[in-house]
Amino acid sequence: MALTASEKLHLKRFIKELKSHRAPHTEFVTVYIPTGYDIIKIIQHLAEEQGTASNIKSAVTKKNVQGALEKMIQHLRGFSKTPAHGLAVFSGNVAAAEGKQDMRVWSMEPPVPLKTRIYRCDKLFATDLLEELITEHQVYGLVVLDRRDAMFALLKGKTIIPLKKTHSEVPGKTRAGGQCLVKDSFIQSCDGEIIQIKNSHNPMVVKSMVMDDFSLKNSPVTDKWEVKKSKVYKITTKFPRLQVESSKDHIFFTRTNEGIKEKAAEELKEGDFLIMPEKINVNGKFKTINAIQYYNSFNISKKGQNFLRTKRENKNLLQKDLAKQVELTQTAISSYEIGKRNAKRIPLQTVCVALDINFYDFLNQHCSQELYKNIKLPVIIDEKFAQFLGYLVGDGCIEKDRITFFEQSKDVTLFYKEQFENYLEMSCSYRFRESKNYHQLRFTSRPLVRLILSEFPEIKLARNTLIPQKILQSPNKVVARFLRGFFDAEGYSLVGRGIGLGINNKALAQQIQMALLRFGIISSLHEYDNRRNPYSNNPRFTNDITEKTSLKLFQQKIGFSCKKKQTKLEKTISKKTNKSYTRQLLVPGSEIRKIIERNGLNTNNFPKVTNFFRDERMMSKEVFRNSVMNEVKDQKLFSELEKIYNYPFLPVKINKIEVRKEEVDMVDISVGNQNFIANGFLVHNSAQRFARLREGAAKEHFKKIAEYMKEQFLHLGNNLKGIIIGGPGTTVNDFLNKDYITGDVKKKIIGTKDLSYTDEPGLQELLDKSQDLLANEEISREKATMYQFFMTFREHPKKVTYGKEHTLKALEMNAVSILLLSEVLEEDEILDFEEKAKLGGAEAKIISTETREGVQLRDLGGVAAILRFEVE
């Protein structure tokens, strides 16, 4: 028989009072009289104990024990018989100071029948049997779950007791916008463009890896989402130094001894190996320039002259009318129509606009340039013009009608003067600025400035400039010459170390790092605070090339125009060893061993590298060729190993992972082949491929949940009244409809509920939605009562009252239907309120603070009521 809230409350407080007393010696007497037991026999037994107590040596203890027994005997003589449920009696001297007397006795008829007879004399009153009465033995098992987390709890009476919480390794991306990179990350398109991910679009095709053979292929961007994230993972590697910033759930490819694995950013650790391309192959195309539109003066063909005249006449304009409209002389209009003199750019454009003629189409179809000061603008982006642009991005300055270069080396300055005077067929000025210790080269040409600003809008102020798109989309030899021009301007060569460049533009430095990969040149990007520069507070970014193979490739593919830098580079290469921490083999040694053994050899044939075959170390490609491949005579085996050697991807070791909490704009893209290259890393993108991994991890997650349910609930035996499971509807169905749960657990499941939350809020939501399953439980009755109160409060606010003063007034008016009392009230207050409710015919209910609604009642003053009628 379950106790009511009021019975439990009174019993709790009775026990609390008894436990507040403690005797200095064994002198507190406790007696439990079971139902139907003769109370006279209990009195006789206590009298016998009085005689026995006379043997106690301590006079004080003897006096207290005998006094307690006498007090209890006198109290029991007031009962004609044992009450229906039995009787619990407690007696003892509870004086605070030893030697004082405050002999007291308590008794109560328990709310349920007693079945045990007990006599005990101890320092404490024996309250165990009473405490057992208010202890809930029957419980419900609660489980809330989704595909990543699960929480287990017991519902014991009105109390939720959390038991266990689990977290699975199911990766977090289940929707678009989950896996993201910061919006300024650079991705590699198939046509060579290196574009910030925020500017990506559909249609667009990017470089992607084919997992089956580790080759590079082109794959389309299929979707894009812009999101905000509150946490950023900044991942930095070494050998080379690359850097990327992502959301916690962005997926990276990692090289392990078990092969290529996928990990979310939050699962990565320092020392893990990410994957980067060794070389990015791009088939660029030469880009043309419609140069004529940038000249200042034009010759108009006969056909063009007639076209202008016809268009004027069709508008019913005389030459003088048109001249007045465009603010030119009639002579100028006449000269355009008969070809007597060249047309200047601005006046001719004004005439075309007035006659509704597309100016640029007219130039292309009917005009030829009139060369001004022998200027010849390029009509194609070839190697020489690319080098000019690279040098301009590095050391140049564009003004309205001139381009100026500033150079420390006189040889380089004179080299560019000679090269581009011939190329552009124009003269340029040179002088040495002695006060500032640099050489100045100046090309004065408004058409050239106009062409560069129009065709290459990426060339801006130094900190905002990017590599022009048309350069990146060009063939490698054009890109190489652009890079040569840039390294001529900003690059340096240090004998014994390598080469590099330093700029204040991070985005440009990142583009340079990725552009070098088109030639297999691997560089490290570093950031410095630039404190030594008194003229700038901007950070400094350097691209360093130190690995021998990369230095050789730079020498062969790009090089310097400056002989001094080129000589230093050659000396550096000659001093470098073939040892490389950069070009490591992607495939683990254990896999290589299997290939070798499959072809009839064993690792004893390669004594220098046996620890590599045991996955105890990694191996550079150079060592692999010299120590393994060159020892193989079998052509078939050699071809297999050579294929692995030529894989265009490398492992790169994580050096540091930094996490910062701030709201950041990020971008998520979906790619057909499900991976792409970002900031030099191979990264995952979409949920499609990863769904299979999530599904496998979800199965393991569900298996663990089933095991924990068995472990946490079945040992409760008959005390387990049932199990209730909550979570997203489809997830719960997936869990229940598969063979994860054993039959004995499944029999205990009494219901499921569709939830929006997990963790503690999920448990509370599960309880709220399970009132139909818990209808006979006191917690449901209590929550239902409070729900009735709050609904009445919302719909008929004058039919409820709360607070002691207002509720007492309603009780005096006999207006109260249901009186709600919080268990936190003093017992005297509760008794007083209950008495007043009884007099007015109201039902009084004690509400615990173990539910959310009970806490709300407490915060309302601990007293509230639902009224029979409205009270002002």
Helix H or strand E encompassing 864: strand 863-867
Q: What is the pLDDT of residue 309?
A: 95
- Name the one residue in this structure whose structure tokens are 């993108």: 685
Residue 801 · residue 858 · CB < 8 Å: no
Where helices occur in 457-562 by DSSP H, the ranges are 469-472, 476-490, 506-516, 548-557
CA quadruple 651, 652, 657, 660: dihedral sign: negative
- One-letter amino acid at 648 equals P
Return the top range by mean pLDDT from 533-547, 566-580, 726-740, 823-837. 566-580
Contacts for 95-100: CB closer than 8 Å, 24+ residues apart: 98/24, 98/60, 99/60
Among 205-209, 451-455, 801-805, 855-859, where is mean pLDDT lowest?
A: 855-859
Q: Tell me if residue 835 falls in helix, strand or coil.
A: helix
CA–CA separation, 871 and 796 (whole Å): 11
Residue 184 pLDDT class (50, 70, 90 cuts):
very high
Residue 543, judged by CB atoms within 10 A of its CB (0-12, 13-18, 19+), counts as buried
Structure tokens at 536: 């700038």
DSSP 775: T
Q: Is 169 a residue whose pLDDT tops 70?
A: no
* pLDDT at 373 > cutoff 70: no
Output the DSSP codes for 558-594.
Answer: T--SSHHHHHHHHHHHHH--S--SSSB-SS-HHHHHH
Query: 5-134, superfamily in CATH?
Result: eRF1 domain 1 (3.30.960.10)
Q: What is the mean pLDDT of residues 698-708?
A: 87
Residue 155, φ and ψ in degrees, nearest 5: -100, 110
3-state secondary structure of 25: coil
At 94-107, the pLDDT tens digits run: 998 877 889 999 99
> Which residue from 268, 243, 203, 198 is spatially nearest to 514, judged by alpha carbons?
243
Strand-by-strand arrangement of the 438-444 sheet: 396-398, 402-407, 438-444, 429-433
Helix extents (H) in 339-376 = 345-354, 359-366
- Alpha carbon 442 to chain centroid distance? 51
Integer Cα distance of 556 and 480 in angstroms: 10
Q: Is 662 left (phi over 0), alpha (psi -120 to 50) or beta?
A: beta
> Which residues in 503-529 are b (16+ Cβ under 10 Å) and which e?
bebbbbbbbbbbbbbbbbbbbbbeeee
Q: Residue 727 forms beta bridges with which residues?
A: 754
Q: Once rounded to an integer, what is the mean pLDDT over residues 798-802?
A: 92
CATH topology of domain 296-369: 434 Repressor (Amino-terminal Domain) (1.10.260)
Tell me what the pLDDT averaged over the chain comes to: 89
Q: How high is the pLDDT of residue 767? A: 85
- The residues, ordered by sequence, that sit 6+ positions from 582 with a Cβ below 8 Å of its Cβ are 239, 240, 522, 547, 549, 550, 620, 650
Distance from C-alpha of 594 to C-alpha of 615, rounded to nearest angstrom: 12
H or E element in which residue 542 lies: strand 540-545
**Which DSSP symbol is given to 185?**
-
The answer to whether residues 186 and 511 touch, using CB atoms and an 8 Å cutoff, is yes
In three-state secondary structure terms, 696 is: helix
CATH topology of domain 383-575: Endonuclease I-creI (3.10.28)
Q: At how many degrees (to 10) do helices 345-354 and 359-366 cross?
A: 110
Domain spans, the chain? 5-134, 139-170+695-769, 181-278+649-684, 296-369, 383-575, 589-645, 778-867
Q: What percent of the chain has pLDDT over 70?
A: 95
- Residue whose C-alpha is closest to residue 823's, from 784, 853, 801, 781: 853
In sequence order, the 6+-apart residues with CB closer than 8 A to the CB of 51 are none
Buried b (16+ CB within 10 A) or exposed e, 796-809: eeebbbbeeebbbe
Closest CA to 753 of 729, 722, 779: 729
Helix (H) or strand (E) holding 847: strand 843-847
- C-alpha 311/C-alpha 475 separation (Å) is 43
| Three-class SS of 68-117 | HHHHHHHHHCCCCCCCCCCEEEEEEECCCCCCCCCEEEEEECCCCCCCCC
Measured between alpha carbons, how far is 65 from 63 in angstroms, rounded to an integer? 6
Q: What is the pLDDT of residue 76?
A: 93
Q: For residue 708, give both structure tokens.
A: 């924990």
At 309-321, the pLDDT tens digits run 999 999 999 999 9
C-alpha dihedral, 706 to 709 to 714 to 716, nearest 10°? 180
What is the mean pLDDT of the segment spanning 246-269? Answer: 92
Cα separation, 156 vs 140, in Å, equals: 7
DSSP string, 474-487: S-HHHHHHHHHHHH
> DSSP letter string over 287-347?
-B--GGGG-SEEEEPHHHHHHHHHHHHHTT--HHHHHHHHT--HHHHHHHHHTSSPEEHHH
Length of the chain: 872
Q: How far apart are CA 818 and CA 402, in angstroms?
A: 92
pLDDT at 135: 72
Judge contact between 748 and 722, C-beta under 8 A: yes
In this structure, what are the phi and psi dihedrals at residue 750, rounded to the nearest 5 degrees?
-105, -5
Alpha carbon separation from 673 to 215, 273, 397, 726 (Å, rounded): 12, 22, 42, 37
**183 contacts 198 by C-beta, under 8 angstroms:** yes
pLDDT at 551 over 50: yes
pLDDT of residue 148: 78
By CB atoms closer than 10 A (0-12, 13-18, 19+), residue 600 is exposed
Q: Which of 510, 501, 502, 482 is nearest to 678 (CA)?
A: 510
The predicted-structure confidence for 259-291, as pLDDT tens digits, reads as follows 899 899 999 999 999 999 999 999 999 999 989
Mean pLDDT of 669-677: 89
CATH of domain 778-867: 3.30.1330.30
CATH classification of 139-170+695-769 is 3.30.420.60, yes or no?
Answer: yes
Q: Give the DSSP H or E segment for 627.
A: helix 621-627
Residue environment code for 607-638, b if the CB has 16+ CB neighbours within 10 A, otherwise e: eebeebbebeebbbbbbbeebbeeebeeeebb
Helix (H/G/I), strand (E/B), else coil: 241: coil
State residue 229 phi and psi, 5-degree precision: -125, 150
Across the range 18-44, mean pLDDT stands at: 92
Segment holding 806, helix H or strand E:
helix 804-812
Is 817 in contact with 868 (CB distance < 8 Å)? yes
Of the ranges 71-85, 241-255, 464-478, 782-796, which one carries the lowest mean pLDDT score?
A: 782-796
Mean pLDDT confidence for 124-141: 83
Backbone angles phi, psi at 169, to 5 degrees: -95, 20
CA distance 195 to 183: 11
For tokens 């016809």, the residue is 310
pLDDT(113) > 50: yes
pLDDT digits (tens, 9 = 90+) for 6-30: 777 788 889 989 999 999 999 999 9
- Tell whether the model's pLDDT for residue 862 goes beyond 70: yes
Looking at residue 695, what is its pLDDT? Answer: 67
Separation CA 822–CA 9 (nearest Å): 10
> What pTM was computed for the model?
0.61
Does the domain at 181-278+649-684 match CATH 3.30.230.10? Answer given as: no
Q: How far apart are CA 796 and CA 802, in angstroms?
A: 14
Overall average pLDDT of the 546-566 stretch: 95
Helix (H) or strand (E) holding 367: strand 367-369
CA-closest candidate to residue 311, choices 235, 259, 366: 366
Q: How confident is the model at residue 175 (pLDDT cuts 50, 70, 90)?
A: very low
Decide if pLDDT at 534 tops 90. Answer: no
